[in-house]
Structure 1
């Protein structure tokens, strides 16, 4: 099989992020986002975390946008294809340089739920705390993101 190089990441549509963010803000009883488009992804992450903190179920589109936003950030900071990070049902990315797989299940897989991923990526939860609590399923010798998290 020929290697065509890295697969370009699918980027989130800024309009869809903004739409999802505004839906989440409305669900929280807040006004629409009035900041710059470049900050909408971060604002969406915070709004979804606020929904979780309030004991609410986040708006599905907002949760998806928040998860994908932070997974894209991880893949940008640690490009590669040796580790697959899965956050079902919303997204998965390959990241971290090193040996890569081409078929079947990758040798290094990390899977967690959306809330845990958002908390890990924003520093609300440590990698050790999440693994100790059984909130992360990780397999493979490179399936450890502790050196890469939090993202902000």
Structure 2
């Protein structure tokens, strides 16, 4: 991880810790196990107002969501059995339907997209691989 990535990760985590406030934790349930065939990236489970691709496997031990619905924030870690670019396209197509606007996108080995709403910012990191790892951070906006 280069210096810029470490700085951005620390910044995003710091924003999340500053906004922890008096919200309550919402229990996460695992998405259904991915089948052996490739998924078609239709909508699956929604976490707050972030739609996940069908077949996403959420790591409930490492994920944490505070608040609920349009007031939720936190971190979601998941895996999806699909091509990295298709996963990115899924979020580009589905986040706006929940009112999120894309403000930046960076593609290298990983794809990092940042979306915003009036009161929150969401950062989605999609790692390369046959079963890409997703890290979704939703933080309050100052």
User: Does the pair score TM above 0.5?
Assistant: no
Whose helix fraction is larger, Structure 1's or Structure 2's? 1
Using CA pairs below 8 Å that are at least 6 residues apart, which structure has the higher relative contact order?
2
TM superposition score normalised by structure 1: 0.29
Whose strand fraction is larger, Structure 1's or Structure 2's? 2
